[in-house]
A = this chain, B = another copy of it.
Amino acid sequence: MVELTEKILTGDIASVARLITLIENNREDAAGIVRKIFPHTGKAYLVGVTGSPGAGKSTLISEMIRVFRDRGQTVGVIAVDATSPFSGGAVLGDRIRMQKYEGEGVFIRSMATRGNLGGLSRATRDVSYVMDAMGMDIIIVETVGVGQVELEIARMVYSTVVVLAPGMGDSIQAMKAGIMEIGDIFVVNKADREGADDTLRDIRGMLRYGSDGGNRRPEIYKATATKGEGITELVDGLERHRKYLNETNLIRKKIYDKEQLLDLIKERVEKRIFDNRGGEEYFEKYVERIVMREIDPYTASDIILEKMGL
């Protein structure tokens, strides 16, 4: 275990991959290693990238990787697929596009939802600690859409980039409420297509009426990732946002919020219930009694917590 921890800190890829698998499976030995590497984290800059399917996120991210590498920075990518907790994996299947830059100084890993959202957030956060500890300067967390998952991810990164493409007007409307809140930077990708300026104008209009509590107004960029256009400007924009967060001291607040510790506590309560011998059967017995209306869910919760000593 000590050996694995040390190998992580030296950036050994095989060890990192092994640890991430342990984290995904919520293994207690993974928690042990995260404890050990945690003091070595906090150096990486965390960037969230989100947007509808078809907006060109993967291509954009691969171009961002290129620019960051040109500037001498190492890049980790965590592609979070939360579209389906059951089948997993469809939408981010095209992350293969990113892999052309995989290699020295670049580490890409995709994660599918297993179990609940809290578990996914915890796992994503832990993987970001691993990539941070192994020495990645930039960690990009990719998600699809603007749902609860994206809001959770936005809470754990410093800068959130929302990617849009021309001709997706309806989805902009639909995402409106969510977008206003999570986007630090907006990118109209596929800017060589018809309607790019309309999309740009739509976003501007939305932002004008939106409110981020009177703070900084998000910046909007145009890019054509397939041609590598506009990427340098986007990365410069990210650097500016980083500078802004540092200067306003907002970055510290963003590093770890209350909700994240709470998620972890809840997940550990669950783990303790089921790690007990016979925990599963004990639990199922109460579910059965609720179904039969012999007991209500609140009373059942209280009994189970009491039994655990709470």
Contact = CB atoms under 8 A, between A and B. Distances in A.
Interface stretch (A64-72, A188-196, A240-248, A255-263): A255-263
Contacts of A298: 31, 34-35, 264, 268
Most chain B CB within 10 A, of A87, A88, A147, is at A147
B259 A84 contact: no
A262 B256 contact: no
Given A34-B298, A301-B264, A309-B310, A86 B181 contact: yes
Interface in A145-203: 145-149, 151, 170-171, 173-178, 180-181
A9 interface: no
Contacts of A149: 147-148
Interface in A80-97: 82-91
A117 B266 CA distance: 13
Given A266-B266, A305-B268, A177 B83 contact: yes
Given A180-B87, A310-B269, A297 B174 contact: no
A203 B94 CA distance: 23
A90 B176 contact: yes
Nearest to A147: B147
Contact count band on A: 35 or more
Given A87-B181, A170-B54, A38 B297 contact: yes
A148 to B, nearest CB: 5
A221 to B, nearest CB: 23
Contacts of A180: 87
Contacts of A86: 177, 181
Interface string A288-310: 00110100111111101100111
A107 interface: no
A272 to B, nearest CB: 7
Nearest to A296: B38
Contacts of A117: 117, 148
A112 B283 CA distance: 30
User: Would you list the 7 A-B pairs with minimal beta carbon distance, nearest first?
Assistant: A38-B296, A84-B177, A147-B147, A266-B266, A90-B177, A53-B174, A35-B296
